[in-house]
Structure 1
């Protein structure tokens, strides 16, 4: 039976804006209060999905969450009709309105951590939605994320969708952005690689400038919850110095696929020991392990952060060749561009580089890898997912037209105070659930 890795990308929501809410995310902070283009953002992401589907990759779509979140505003004491609550929040606490209006759920790399059925004792695919408790605008996502995942992956004979971990700093969980799985083949038992920024109880090194968002305790809890064995897991700590340089998630400094790890030489604490453990545990599964380590002398951490070289998608074609999906910024950075040309010319594990314009997402600190959630699926498991979420020509055409009809091409910070934005968003999402065949997904539909 064929097993593949599917990528589920998040559609960018109608309230895509630059509020600078994510301390530690350099791009997010640098573009704070600038004018966004939600229509272009959604179309850029949609075109990436379509191109990869055309190349033969399994590509799914996950819907955006309802924003602004009226639930959050009401929990924070803003009463009255929707328009009145928005007006009060805009006047008294604009930062809370900005948090309630964030479209950050578009970055589905933070949606959940996923363990495929080959690794779990009950031979089901396990999902744990990320609590994202380090940021208010993201901490409100996990309940809706669980509802979406439970709808797309509804068959309990194939899928287990857990609750998020408790939202406490000791269990700070940022999802698949800090998780990679290695294996010889997707359908074979593999080794799951959990990367954390700090430990609540073990202590040890921590960044000094920016917060470490993922804890060891959260990573360990997810591995235990999914039933993973010690032989099938490796835990590694991010280098705290690179977190302070803007590497707020591991997927800003490393990406893996099958038996290949592509990372910067400063990615991890005790990097050689990390490689050795991965190599040893993969060898026990008769799986090779290849490292492409990028030296600081070739590409600095600063260049890696500004170009998002490692926030790329490393994908395997059916014939075993690998492509690296990178943002346009990688071609605009001379050090990164030269390195990528030499990487492909070297006849190593990467055979081709595909470049995408994701400017709107990049300005908020999210590249190709941020936009996708990887889910390894057998043929039977894929058949058990919601059929309307798989990208094809017909779905692309419908979604492209939907974006054109419902999305603004300009959204400034002051536009978040417009109550019409909520009506526009709900109208769009109500139609979207029909296009994707997901039923009554949102609070306002229930």
Structure 2
């Protein structure tokens, strides 16, 4: 089956490299801003806590996530069908426009200049280039597992629709739905990649096709309901959106045997060393990421069903998906995608669990802090300062992950383009 295998054509990997680098920088900046923001919410008062915190979601969503997922899209969409990226220059132009949009937004927030309209036009121009290239490449039908393209296409269409809505400066009726829809772009792209690659990684022949098709239908309905709940102040729309999304996610996990359902004892008995390390890493992290995703959507359902609009439910529904699901999935897939970009093999046998343990600790501390804020419980200062480390633990996880990946390539021999990348599935 066609997978993410790098062949003699490495153009898509070349195109993706500046996206990956830019995304990492933006992730650190956004996490730094979020960490200071969390400190200010918990009572810390200093010059640093007077920063423009509205830039946190800009740097993390418009910056890190959008830039990273677009860069990955430029690599995996052509690679799934063993074709070339139509234009590296256009791909890089879309990155430049996204970064220009972020720069305009930062200038508007920091210096008070009116550049929001320019930021919106730069953003939609970058998105339009990505959309055009993605759909032009998707017209080439893959030989197998074509449902993956439907998830990817829905992801790209969702990004374009959101870009147009934001350009129209329409005031969202539901802030949580707006953030969730922005997170739905990477979520659906991840689903497309996982549907194509998990059969190879976990060792089953094919996904459960009917469950996958049902998941896609409900995902498409969820996109419509999500956009509707963004724009219309109707109590039932966010609830319907999250329940539909939860069913889509549940059926998708079932279709890919995320939590088992097939006998892998023979596979485990036949593999060892690096192959076994990668297999166990993939199994554990895919399950953990879906647990985060289920929890985040359930919190969103509870938030929509609650009349109190709990801050704890609101905040955790966002961060369990953004940091928990998407963050954990990135720690799983980025090492698998980097070899054709950096030209070196990555050894999973040299990996450790420090980054994900730091993410877990950060989310636990955030949950305690959110509960204290929601129920107006005054934390004693030593405990309050401990809660303030939540964001810094995320930054520590980023640093640890970068160091871990770097060390795992340190003793690897540089390989030819034909032999690096994710194995053919």
Regarding TM over 0.5, the answer is no
Q: Which has the higher helix share?
A: 2
Tell which has more relative contact order, 1 or 2 (C-alpha 8 A, sep 6+).
1
Q: Which has the higher strand share?
A: 1
Report the TM-score when normalising by structure 2.
Answer: 0.36
Report the TM-score when normalising by structure 1.
Answer: 0.34
